[in-house]
Structure 1
Amino acid sequence: MANVTTRLIKGSLWLSLARAIVNGLAALSTFILAWNLAPSDFGVVALGMTILMIVSTVTELSLAEALIRHEAPGESHFSAAWTLNALRGLVLALFFAAAAKPAALLFEEPRLTGVMLALGLSVFLSGLTNPRRIMYQRDLIFWQEFVLAVSQKLTGFIAAVAIAIIYHSYWALVIGTLVTQATNVAVSYLVLPFRPRITFRHMREFFSFSAWLSAGQIVNTLNWRFDYLLVGKMLGNTALGYYSVGSNLAMMPTREATMPLTQTIYPGFASIQNDPARLAAAYQRAQALLTAVALPAGIGVAVIADPLVRLALGEKWAPVIFIIQALASVFALQTLGSLVQPLGMAKGETRMLFVRDTQMLLVRVPIMVAGLLLAGLPGVVVGRVFTGLCSAVVNMVLVRRLIDLPVMRQLQANLRALVSVAVMAAGVAFAAGQLPHTGDRPMLALHLATLVALGGFLYCAATFLLWEAMGRPQGPEREVQTILGKLLAKLRPARRQA
């Protein structure tokens, strides 16, 4: 247990550094592009990306997860995975080429034709990625993920920003995606050389694991992306641009704060899947740490959304403030049960995950449609908040079924984080209300910095005081204390030598 936890923590540190860099570049890219492009530009690309995500997920084979769970994958397994991925990428590229014009006519958007053709090339490139690099994740080694994540984000950032500044065109978003994907393919072979062979062996072996998982991914993507198509068709590209940018910015703090742990946790769970006691203990520790990071990140962004948007994006993007406030909060709260996905995969309960996703789709579609018809874009956002909270409850119930961990015990493990973030949100909201309204950018920057510093202080102080009052129990605070202790121990010899 200790060895697995240590390796997970090391992996999380590698990925934390990568995500910090990627997060910074992503945020900076969004801000620069928002200043140089119109909301409708984001809307047309969001349409193409939504179609790409739905079609890609419908044909997803989940080969990486199958390789991780396999006891001893060989070269033939990797070649078979490469063959399947390459063939799938080619078929999807041809499909996008054929569907480009009809999609443009359906959504009454001529620019969608070129976007679809370019994204077809992107999905073809993704099929050529080196499947053998998944062995690093399987062995809980994550330095190569740092190289991949940073390199592809940096090249995509440079390409997108350059085109946006020079041409002020929506092609900045498309070409940035293409450059990112091409870099991913090239670097994947540099970090771990591999010469693939075309083979169709192990087909039954792959599909026996991935069938339910792939079906669940199809339903899950429809579940969380069909609203983009709904908004684009019913409300137009400008509304979709606001919705897309607002959703991405709302998701970013929670996603980037938790991605390092969520990327490492599935291999960790898979390695102890046959030891129920260790698996339950590992889940509780990982979930508590995840929530302790996600809650202040997501809800913190929600309470500073107003000055953040006005400073970073400008007044023309003011409609996204409400979207960020609503969705950033629910994304953070959804992490209370979000690790059910890797937990279910590790235990081979992919059918259960598929049933969950199907049930949520059947609930979510009518709610989102009703919200749009009754209140337009705000109704869609409210519907998404409601269904997101329902999803968190369902996930915690599934965790109980998988590892016999009651829902109340799951909430108790996150009690300090929940109370501390409530203190933080109340304090920052009160302080924001006392600050004078201003359009001056330096003053907005000062207000934002003040609120961020106050929020960080309130959350950390409340967490520490609660931890002390409860007798310093096991939890995220102890994990952080252990990590800092190890870092300080390593730094002391270096200082002595210096």
Structure 2
Amino acid sequence: MSNVADRLMKGSLLISLSRAIVNGLSSLSTIILAWYLMPSDFGIVALATTMLAIVTTVTDLSLSQALIRHENPQESHFSAAWTLGATRGLLLCLVFAGIAYPSSVIYNDPRLFDVMLALSLSLLINGLANPKRFMLQRDLIFWQEFVLNVVQKIAGFVATVAVAVIYQSYWALVVGTLVMQATNVITSYMVLPFRPRITFRHMREFVSFSVWLTAGQIVNTLNWRFDYLLTGKYLDSSALGYYSLGSTLAMMPTRETTAPLTATIYPGFSNVRNDPQRLANAYQRAQAMLAAIALPAGIGFAVVGDPLVRLALGERWMDIVPIIQALASVYALQTLGSLVQPLGMALGKTRTLFIRDTQMLIIRVPIIAAGLLLYGLQGLVICRVFTGLLSAVINMFIVKKFVGVSVLVQLAANFRALFSSALMAAGVYAVLDMWGPVDGLYERIIQLAALIALGGVIYCGSTFLLWVLAKRPTGPETEIQKLVVKILTKLRGRG
């Protein structure tokens, strides 16, 4: 178990580096695009990618999860997975291209036809990906995953920025997506040589595992994407652009800061799934660490949303500030139960996950639709906050069902992170209110840097104090302490 833990920690560190690079390029790309493109440009591409995500998910075979969970996959399993993926990619490419024109008529925007036609190629490209790359996660090998993530992001970044600067068109988003996906496929075969054979063996094996998981993903995608379709239809492409960019930016701090840990969670849970007590302990440790990172990242991002948007995107994008403030906080709080997905997959409880997703879809659709139709974009965001918090509570009850950890115990394990995040938000808001808006690039940089530093000091100081007062219980602080000691020991040994 200690060997697995060490490999997970090393993997998390390597993924941290890759995510730092990827996140830095994503942030820089978003800033550049915001200066060169209009909100309506983001809106039209967001509408097309939403349809793409729905079509992709409806036919997803969950091949990666099936291969990771397989006890001993052979070459025939990889060839079968490649054959299924390639066949699916080709068929979806034709279907998506076929619905491009009707969609442009429904949404009364001719640009949608060209964008969907181009993005249909991404389905074909993704279908040709190397299935052996999934084994990297199962075997807890992360350096090759690092190469794949970084190389594809650099290629996509260069293509996106080049088209944006030269043409100042929404095509920058489309070209960047296609280049990134093509680079990922090519690099996967360079890093992990594989010559696939066309075979449809093991199809029943793959389908039997993925049927409930795929059904859940279909419902989940509709659950989290239907609001884009409604916004594009009942508002306009500019409103959808604000909502799309605001939601994307709000998700970034939570997603990117927790990606190094979440990437290792499913394989880690799978390794101990036959030992209920070890699995429960592993869940509690992983979830507490996740919340300790995500809560200050997401809530802190919400607090500095106003000065950040003024500095990075400019005054014309100020309409996304309330979206960022609301959704970034909710995304952070949702991490309190977000690990229920890999936990359920490791236990094979995909049917339960499907039922959860279906229930949330039934709840969210009427609430969010009513908020959007009655109160516009503001109503949509408010309803997203309510349903997001409800989703977190439901996830925690499902965790209790899976591993027997009560909701109160789950909340208690995150008390220090919750309290310190609230204290951090109050302190930064108070200073920001006294400081007020500033003009000039240099002054804005100074203000943002000072607020971030203040938030970090308040959060870390409060967390450490509460940990000491609680007599240093086992938790995220313990994990960080062990990591620091291990790093310092290695550095001294090399010295």
List gaps (5 residues or longer) in structure 2: none
Between the aligned partners of 2:262 and 2:86, the Cα distance in structure 1 is: 27
Deviations 1:354-400 (A, max 9, x none): 00000000000000111012210010001111000000000000000
State the partner residue of 1:284: 284
- Is 1:307 the counterpart of 2:307 in the alignment? yes
SS of the residue 1:84 aligns to: helix
User: For 1:145, what is the secondary structure of its paired residue?
Assistant: helix
Q: Distance in 2 between matches of 1:148 and 1:295?
A: 28
Distance in 1 separating the partners of 2:437 and 2:191: 51
Is the CA contact 2:309–2:318 (under 8 Å) kept in the aligned structure 1? yes
> Is 1:466 aligned to residue 450 of structure 2?
no
Matches within 5 A, 1:437-476: 437-476=437-476
Deviation at 1:438, TM superposition (A): 2.3
Q: Which residue of 1 aligns with 2:36?
A: 36
- Equivalent-residue separation in structure 2 for 1:485 and 1:111 (angstroms): 56
Post-superposition shift, 1:4?
Answer: 2.1
- Mapped to 2, the partners of 1:10 and 1:84 lie a distance apart of 33
Between the aligned partners of 1:133 and 1:318, the Cα distance in structure 2 is 41
Q: Is the 8 A contact 2:307 2:437 kept in 1?
A: no
Instruction: Map 1:166-245; keep pairs closer than 5 Å.
Output: 166-245=166-245
Output the CA distance in 2 between the equivalents of 1:466 and 1:4: 30
| Superposed displacement of residue 184, structure 1 | 0.4
Pairing of 1:290-301 with structure 2 (within 5 A): 290-301=290-301
Conserved? CA contact 2:371–2:379, under 8 Å: yes
Matches within 5 A, 1:287-436: 287-436=287-436
CA distance in 1, matches of 2:98, 2:294: 41
Are the counterparts in 1 of residues 219 and 358 from structure 2 also a CA contact under 8 Å? yes
Q: Distance in 1 between matches of 2:479 and 2:277?
A: 19
Q: CA deviation at 1:493?
A: 2.3
Q: What are the Cα deviations for residues 122-159 of structure 1, in whole angstroms up to 9, with x where unaligned? A: 11100111001111111111111111111111110010
Residue 119 in structure 1 maps to residue 119 in structure 2: yes
Deviation at 1:436, TM superposition (A): 3.0
Q: Show the counterpart of 1:77.
A: 77
**Partner residue, 1:9:** 9
SS at match of 1:405: coil
Distance in 2 (alpha carbons) for counterparts of 1:236 and 1:437:
30
Deviations 1:64-86 (A, max 9, x none): 00001110000000000000000
Amino acid at match of 2:438: T
Distance 1:229 1:458 in 2: 40
Q: 1:92: which partner in 2?
A: 92
Aligned to 2:99, the other structure's residue is in SS state helix
Contact 2:212 / 2:351 at 8 angstroms: preserved in 1? yes
Q: Which amino acid aligns with 2:263?
A: Q
Partner residue of 2:27?
27
RMSD: 0.7
Q: Which runs of 5+ in 1 are unaligned?
A: none
Task: Report 1:97-176 matches (<5 A).
Answer: 97-176=97-176
Contact in 1 for aligned 2:303/2:429 (Cα 8 Å): yes
> Distance in 2 between the 1:143 and 1:479 partners?
23
Alignment: residue pair count: 495
* AA at the equivalent of 1:112: L
SS in 1 for 2:293: helix
CA distance in 1, matches of 2:4, 2:471: 27
Deviations, residues 5-37 of structure 1 (Å, cap 9, x unaligned): 222111111111111111111011000000000
Q: Are 1:267 and 2:267 matched, yes or no?
A: yes
Separation in 1, partners of 2:267, 2:494: 33
Identical residues among aligned pairs (%): 66
- Write the letter of the residue equivalent to 1:274: N
Q: What is the TM-score with the length of structure 1 in the denominator?
A: 0.99
Give CA-to-partner distance per residue, 1:327-357, whole Å, 9 cap, x none: 0000000000000000000000000000000
